[in-house]
Amino acid sequence: LRFVQTLSGPLEGVDARENAVRAMAQAVNSPGGVLYLRTDDGEAYRPAASWPAGALDLRRRESLEPNDELVAFLRDRQWVIDLTELRATPDLYGNLTLPAIVDETLGNGPERDRLIVPLTHVDALIGFVVLAAPPDPFTPNYEDRDLLKMMGRHVAVHLAQYESDHRLAESRQFETYHRLTAFVMHDLRNLAAQLALIVSNAERHKRDPE
């Protein structure tokens, strides 16, 4: 319930992407996390937002290619990855090799990344969220994993709708700009025609004061 309330009612000045991370982190009492989203061309998964805002230097977070082992695992299996469990029993995850992005500390504190939640929309992996470790004791069971997976799908739909609305707003802005430009160009052409007529008449009648 808190997840839905947070996702549907962001704080003032909080971006929709940041708020999505916040909603997921609060559900498991995580201190924060990073959102990775697929680029428009589908060539990479890049860090797009973090929560708390500004706590992480996103420029230092590496991008992942679509054929990266972690991305392929999330896309094919759609599992929630518990990094502590992965390090203890790697065979459960097919001996998945972790990229450097999940080994960094969160902000200035000692917290390590703990969970990776896939964001799946229409069976396509549009991104994933890396969440920092919640306070101990934290041992997620299958219900926690199902809840996180459900939240991931909900966030994916939410972000897809956000991106669609954003593109639609930009399209409408361009349409308004084109209309304004058409009006301005029409007026400029009228002014140019009037000036051309004055110049041609001046050339013909410059010696005739009347």
What pLDDT shows up at residue 109? 45
What pLDDT shows up at residue 63? 83
Q: Quick check: pTM over 0.75?
A: no
Cβ-contact 114, 138 below 8 angstroms: yes
What pLDDT shows up at residue 59? 54
What pLDDT shows up at residue 165? 67
Task: Give me the DSSP letters along 165-200.
Answer: HHHHHHHHHHHHHHHHHHHHHHHHHHHHHHHHHHHH
- Strand pairing class (124-132; 33-38): antiparallel
Q: How far apart are the first and last CA of the chain?
A: 85
What pLDDT shows up at residue 110? 45
Give the separation between CA 49 and CA 19, rounded to whole angstroms. 9
What pLDDT shows up at residue 55? 57
> Which residues in the chain show pLDDT less than 70?
13, 53-60, 103-111, 165-172
What pLDDT shows up at residue 72? 92
pLDDT tens readout for residues 142-194? 898 999 999 999 889 888 887 776 666 666 677 777 788 887 887 888 888 88
Q: Which three-class secondary structure string do you get for 46-76?
A: EEEEEECCCCCCHHHCCCECCCCHHHHHHHH
